[in-house]
Structure 1
């Protein structure tokens, strides 16, 4: 494996770090901020999708689609809950 890392792969690695960081944040924080959690997951899914559009892997691409959809739903839910509290 002597291939150089292209920009799409680098973008995918950044997305992977975002998703892992969001999961770590969820695990470590007693009361995680849902905007940070779901926003970071959405950014990670979007970045991984960019990488997967260049280096197509259909199962992973579908996974990122669901990951993004769940993050968007979580953000909408957090916004709704925030509006109810204020």
Structure 2
């Protein structure tokens, strides 16, 4: 059995903008794994940096369900062509 060791890191607070449905799927996945969205993102990125998948086949299946629930139809091939649409501002009361 592998020994798990604690790795001390310095975390910084950041404000990032992310597509709404992607965030919903990330939140659902983090909840499924009982972790924060930040911890989930760190894991995904560290795996991606090594060319590895961060998820088991079962987790990918569950993510597929979340994608359906939240209407996330974007694919990896869309990542270089995403453009932000006009934001709808709340109607002003007159």
TM-score, normalised via structure 2 length: 0.27
Higher relative contact order (CA 8 A, sep 6+): 1
Q: Higher helix fraction: Structure 1 or Structure 2?
A: 1
For the pair shown, the structure with the greater C-alpha radius of gyration is 2
TM-score, normalised via structure 1 length: 0.28
